[in-house]
Amino acid sequence: MTRCGVLALQGAFIEHVQLLSALGVDTVQVRRPDQLSGLDALIIPGGESTSVGKLAVAYGLVEPIRRMAQEGFPIWGTCAGMILLARDVGFGQPLLGVMDIVVRRNAFGRQVDSFEVGLDIPVLRTVSTGAECGRPFPGLFIRAPLVERLGPAAEALARLPDDVRIAGQAGAVVAARQGKLVATAFHPELTGDSRFHRYFLAVAGS
């Protein structure tokens, strides 16, 4: 059985735990470096990225997680987790800096500007069954970041539809992958749709 850790310092970690448990995945709420031992994958959830980063530094988690990522360990960051994985966010805060992406924090505005939009995510077809096939994924954006620049080591997994423009830009990248590192600007754990979690578990097991 896959054993997946969820960084549980702040933010929407319990929703990831619940969804993973429903999929039959053994989960660990990670708050200390020793709890990283024996994991097959790790999720860094959404929340307030500056707070999560400072807590990760305080609890001695930044360096071991960075080392794991550099060694090819599967890690998925959602929203704030995407920010922490990025190499640059144009803001002085603790980062893991392991993905070749430049991320803009709070790209869509404040909490009241949150929205949901259907996303075409081709890689999810590999884990979709029955009625899921061809169905757009519910992209839930809450004070969300986006990928401003995608480096050569990373690839886009999802873009905003052309009718959703940020600063006049269409097709902004909102999900990316680099080896076994995955980042999403949106919150799959809050939608009830488990396809992205199944996709990440497949990446972790590949």
Decide if 189 is catalytic. Answer: yes
> What is the rounded distance in angstroms from the CA atom of residue 113 to the CA atom of residue 155?
27
One-letter amino acid identity for 83?
Answer: I
Active site residue 187: yes
- Tokens linked to 166: 């940020």
Given 4, 16, 148, 189, which residue is catalytic? 189
What amino acid is encoded at 184 in this protein? T
- At 80, give phi and psi (nearest 5°): -60, -35
One of 4, 79, 148, 197 is an active-site residue; which one? Answer: 79
Has 132 been annotated as catalytic? no
| CA separation for the pair 107, 14 (Å, rounded) | 25
- Find the catalytic residue in 4, 16, 148, 187: 187
Write the CB contacts of 29 (distance below 8 Å, at least 6 apart in sequence): 5, 6, 8, 13, 17, 35
Catalytic residues: 79, 187, 189
